[in-house]
Structure 1
Amino acid sequence: MSEQEFKRALGYANSAFDLLKRSSIPPYPQFYELLYTYATGVNPTLNNRINAIFRNGDSPSANLAEALYNEFLKSDVNDRMSNVSERMHARIEAVHEAIDTAMTTANAYSGSLQSASGDLERDISPEAMKTLAERLLSETRRMQDTNRALEQKLEASRDDIASLQRDLDDVRRESLLDPLTKIANRKSFDEGMEAAIAEARENGTPLCLMIVDIDHFKNFNDTYGHQTGDQVLRLVAMTLKSNIKGKDLAARYGGEEFVAILPSTDIEGAVIVAENIRRAIQAKELLKRSTNEKLGRITASFGVAAYQPGDTVSMLIERADRCLYAAKHAGRNRVVSESELEALQVQLPQIQGISAA
């Protein structure tokens, strides 16, 4: 974790504990998670609800906090995963039961054939032969019926298991998406970053990381409201995603910050991508949907860092974060890469203390 990440996380934690204390809510893990999430602003719908409570002069109680936690944070992904797992288990049990029945019937049929073989080795009367033939025919028909039932159950199970696999895929995809912007979430980014660094380390291919922060987002949010703020987040996410390609991954990093993993891209190429995204964001004029009022244009600042041999995920993030802070300090609405950072640091010796507002 970079120093900037640590400071941000600590600020969110302090805000969460302060709210717990002011509202006399027990500092149970779920309530801390609720107010920590509120402090980060990553769930705008939750923030709107809590802000409305504060505007009404109310204070979140433990009961209200529990209701909000159950509504917004108690993910149903695990419940859905458990449901799919139970259905899968039931279907597999049904297949096993059908196979056991078929094996039992097959063993009985095999025993009947062996018995009939022994009878045929001896001289038997025509009547006994007829009885034996009828018994074998009945056993054969029973075996055929059992096989048909097994085939039907296997066919049904194949369809059910294919459906369950699709459900599992849907749940997994949902667990890796940010619910507001519909691009990859932090969990997906963490997995993608680990995989990208492993590939760069193994193959010696270039890799860059871009961090994007919307300029003055808090002021914008406070001025025009959270719904418009949500619109801004979706717009930036859409612009980011539409300007990358191939194995690149765009994700919401937290709050108003976004990231893009750029495999097989050197620092010069990554800067070009970042500049294209910066200009695309700045070119979009924001309208208030309810009134069509023009709210002006938004801008974003970018930090770009390149993978170096021996880098860990946190090391690469920290360098990209420092570039982002330099872009903020240098006036915002610009891209700063590692190649520019040294020159900027001559003028800005204390980049780590800059506010990211």
Structure 2
Amino acid sequence: MVEQRIPPTPSNFAIWFHYFAGNHDDLRNAIDLLIDHNRPFDDRTNRDLFKTYIAPKVNAAVTADTSERLHDVMGAAKEFLTTAIADNRSQMQVISEVADQGKAGVDPKALVAQLINELARAATRATRLEAGFAEKTRELDVIRDSLSRSEERARTDTLTGLANRRALDEFLRKAQATAAWGEPLSVLMLDIDHFKAFNDNFGHGVGDQVLRLMAKVLREKVRAQDLPARYGGEELIAVLPDADLATCADLAERIRHALAECTITRRSTGEVLPSISVSIGVAQYRAGEAVADLIERCDRALYLAKSSGRNRVMTETELDRAGAAG
């Protein structure tokens, strides 16, 4: 991983563990092909490797384990119900027999004692069944929580804790449907200026620290109804439903200023590192267009910000002006 300059993230470790363990031929062939053709293991390539070869196995293992546990719980519940039904039939039979004995003139004291004994046994059995049902209910709660955590992991970027591309795509589809009724929808995309030089000078560990800081600031600045996500590499994105271009650009400026004021300290040495700056592109959804067109326009605004000197916000309006000037 050091030789290929691969960041030591949990997902990357999983990829290369399976590669060297030799238990995943498709993964080994894919990596060998990349190495033979001198292809860089950038963030996008690493993410695709994990999504294609590792994530399906993880999700399949979780699904299989959950299915087995559910089967056990349902089997136990069926057994409890069968027992309860049988107990009810037994109790009804005893009560019926006592009633018949009462009509036949049997000593009432003996009948009362027999009924008391049967009711005591019934209460004991009911308590035992209730305890069993309570235990299985707790097991179902554990399974439900496990599934929720698994679903959350499948929708979350492991490095930044933001939504990943899968969650982003789902959110954009829903936001687009709402925007089709006339509500504004805007997106902003930000990228760290000179991030490669930062990584080269201070290492990928510090670069990851910077990305987590960016994610934290983005998460704190967006509104509750917005979605901050990791788009790829060092690019982050935020989707803002019910926000026009001016509102989104204003938020982008606040994010840029907040990041410029952050102090970054190298954890291993306590060294205070140079401040960072970001370039941000902003675009607003146009009725009837594909989401891909919105993202592409936002991406072009981002790179216009970079080519115009970095550390600034550019909107799609500047794209139009740049095109007219050209």
Is this contact kept in 2: 1:213–1:258, CA < 8 A?
yes
Contact 2:282 / 2:314 at 8 angstroms: preserved in 1?
yes
Provide TM-score, normalisation by structure 1: 0.71
Per the TM alignment, residue 299 of structure 1 is displaced from its structure 2 partner at its CA by: 2.0
Matches of 2:125 and 2:272 in 1, distance apart?
Answer: 72
Residue matched to 1:8: none
Q: Distance in 1 between matches of 2:284 and 2:29?
A: 36
Q: 1:162 aligns with which of 141, 153, 158?
A: 141
Cα distance in structure 2, aligned partners of 1:169 and 1:95: 23
SS of equivalent residue, structure 2 residue 168: helix
Please report how far the alpha carbon of residue 103 of structure 1 lies from its aligned counterpart in structure 2 after TM superposition: 0.9
Question: Does 1:279 find its partner at 2:272?
Answer: no
Could you say if the C-alpha distance between residues 32 and 265 of structure 1 is closer, same or farther in structure 2, counting changes exceeding 3 Å? farther
Residue number in structure 1 paired with 2:42: 40
Indicate how the Cα distance of structure 1 residues 116 and 293 shifts in structure 2: closer, same or farther if over 3 A, else same: closer
Name the amino acid aligned to 1:184.
Answer: A
Residue 312 of structure 1: which of 266, 287, 290 is its match?
290
Q: Corresponding residue for 1:79?
A: 61
Q: In the aligned structure 1, how far is the partner of 2:80 from the partner of 2:216?
A: 50
Instruction: Please report how far the alpha carbon of residue 136 of structure 1 lies from its aligned counterpart in structure 2 after TM superposition.
Output: 4.8
Contact kept, 8 Å, 1:34 with 1:73, in 2: the verdict is: no
Unpaired segments ≥5 residues, structure 1? 1-24, 47-64, 349-357
Residue type matched to 2:279 in 1? S
Provide Cα deviations, 1:221-256, integer angstroms capped at 9, x if missing partner. Answer: 223221121122112112211211211111111111
2:155 counterpart residue number: 176
Q: Over residues 42-78 of structure 1, what are the superposed CA-to-partner deviations in whole Å (9 max), with x where a residue is unaligned?
A: 699x9xxxxxxxxxxxxxxxxxx99xx99x7676454
Q: CA deviation at 1:271?
A: 0.2
Identity of paired residues, percent? 33
Picking from 178, 182, 194, the partner of 1:199 is: 178
The equivalent of 2:9 in structure 1 is none
Tell me, which stretches of 5 or more residues in structure 2 are unaligned?
A: 1-21
- The change in CA–CA distance for 1:312 and 1:112 in structure 2 (over 3 A counts) is farther
1:39 is paired with a residue whose SS is coil
Report how far residue 277 of structure 1 moved.
1.0
Q: Are 2:263 and 2:273, in contact at CA under 8 Å, matched by a contact in 1? A: yes
Offset at residue 95 of structure 1 (A): 1.9
* Distance in 1 (alpha carbons) for counterparts of 2:45 and 2:127: 53
Match of 1:238 among 211, 216, 226: 216
Q: 1:186 to 1:34 in 2, by over 3 A?
A: farther
Question: Distance between the aligned counterparts of 2:286 and 2:67, measured in 1?
Answer: 42
Letter matched to residue 85 of structure 2:
M
SS of 1:168's partner is helix
Q: 1:98 to 1:328 in 2, by over 3 A?
A: same
CA distance in 2, matches of 1:305, 1:291: 40
Work out the number of aligned pairs and report it: 297
Secondary structure of 1:259's counterpart equals: strand
Range moving further from structure 2, 325-334 or 240-249? 325-334
